[in-house]
Amino acid sequence: MTQDNPLLQVEGLSKFYGHRIGCADVGFDLYPGEVMGIVGESGSGKSTLLNCLAGHLPPDQGRVMFDTRADGMRDTVTMSEPERRMLGRTDWAFVHQHARDGLRMNVSAGGNVGERLMAVGARHYGDIRGTAIDWLDRVEIAEDRIDDRPRQFSGGMQQRLQIARNLVTGPRLVFMDEPTGGLDVSVQARLLDLLRGLVREMGLSAIIVTHDLAVVRLLAHRLMVMKDGYVVETGLTDQVLDDPQHGYTQLLVSSVLQV
């Protein structure tokens, strides 16, 4: 966490929808092994920001510099589409809120996990299947479910399968959009446990968008609070949650229901 070069450097990133602001003038550095949380209410621009960072949406202004393995820091906004897609299936991973957006529902679990491997040139069936079994095991899916379709899986299993499918190529940066949304609390807890283990074990950097403060408290080192497209507060997670400075952050923190 104390390495010199940031993995991702974002400067002045803005995205407009006509006259409306998606997100405006966002900038931050993310270092290897660091997990950053982005919180805010719905409509605050956190998903727009995440999609701009991950290359799913073209931003209107700003730079997203990523430390590529081959050429060092490159601006992913001006990079060519094939290069961006290559990043998207090697060094980057994207975990969607709804597993069905990130999975191929009519392809078996093994095929889902193997797709990224095949996309980067794996052509040995036995090896691909072996890796898929290994990954299913790591996300606690039984080996005999490898030929089942994701729609035969529960919501929590689908989400874990999506994570396996994304991490199989050993990415360095993971984007997560509400990874625990729509799951009941006990399933959430297991998923968070799993994510925390994987992040630590693989030394992943991650950007997690969520409105669930408990999730960021558990996973994120640093926190960015967004409101109406702007970043209103940043800092260490504990610092922001325990001593919120901005009015909106104070509202957000005090709005959490206590059990």
Cβ distance to another protein smaller for residue 114 or 244? 114
The token pair at 138 is 């790591």
Handedness of CA 99, 199, 229, 52 (dihedral sign): negative
Quote the tokens at residue 68: 């590529």
The tokens of 233 are what?
């507060």
Nearer to another protein, 18 or 82 (CB): 82
3-state secondary structure of 89: helix
Dist. CA 193–CA 139, nearest whole Å: 10
Q: In angstroms, what is the minimal distance from the CB of 172 to another protein?
A: 20
Q: What is the DSSP letter of 243?
A: S
Residue type at position 105: M
Tokens of 40: 């805010």
H-helix or E-strand spanning residue 233? strand 230-236
Residue 124 or residue 196: which is nearer to another protein going by CB?
Answer: 124
Residues of the shown chain interacting with another protein in the complex, contacts defined by CB under 8 A: 81-82, 85, 89, 104, 107-108, 110-111, 114-116, 118-120, 123-126, 128-129, 146-147
Q: How far is the CB of 227 from another protein (least distance, A)?
A: 35
Strand partners, 175: 94, 207
In whole angstroms, the minimum distance from the beta carbon of 9 to another protein comes to 26
Q: How far is the CB of 88 from another protein (least distance, A)?
A: 10
- 17 versus 125: smaller Cβ distance to another protein: 125
Query: For residues 76 and 180, which CB has a smaller minimum distance to another protein in the complex?
Result: 76
Q: From the CB of 79, what's the least distance to another protein, in Å?
A: 13
